[in-house]
Amino acid sequence: MVIGLPWAKVEISVDEVEALEADARRAFEEGYCDFCTQFLSGQDIHAIRKMGDGAKVLVVLSPKTTPDWSPQISYTRLEFSENDKQVQRPPFSSAFPAALVPVDAERATSLCFRVAAFPPSRTVLTVGIALWPGFKVYFGKGFGVEEESWGLQWSGEDGSPVDPGACRLRLSKGDLVCITCDPWEGSSSIALNGRQVAMFSIPCGKAFVLGATLSSGCILRIESP
- Could you read off the pLDDT of 114-132 as tens digits, one per residue? 999 999 999 999 999 999 9
Q: By percentage, how much of the chain surpasses pLDDT 90? A: 68
Whether residue 181 contacts residue 108, with contact meaning beta carbons closer than 8 Å, is answered with: yes
Confidence (pLDDT) at 34: 41
Give the chain's mean pLDDT: 84
Q: How far is CA 75 from CA 32, 71, 192, in A?
A: 46, 7, 24
Taking 50 as the threshold, does the pLDDT of residue 51 lie above it? yes
The model carries a pTM of: 0.74
Confidence (pLDDT) at 126: 98
Confidence (pLDDT) at 21: 63
Taking 60 as the threshold, does the pLDDT of residue 106 lie above it? yes
Q: How far is CA 44 from CA 14, 40, 51, 132, 191, in A?
A: 11, 8, 12, 43, 35
- Could you read off the pLDDT of 143-201 as tens digits, one per residue? 999 999 999 999 999 999 999 999 999 999 999 999 999 999 999 999 999 999 999 99
Confidence (pLDDT) at 62: 79
User: Domains, the chain, ranges and CATH?
Assistant: 8-61 (no CATH), 64-222 (2.60.120.920)
Q: By percentage, how much of the chain surpasses pLDDT 70? A: 72
Taking 50 as the threshold, does the pLDDT of residue 70 lie above it? yes
Per-residue pLDDT band at 49 (split at 50, 70, 90): low
Q: Which residues contact 112 (CB under 8 A, 6 or more apart)?
A: 65, 66, 176, 177, 178, 179, 222, 223, 224, 225
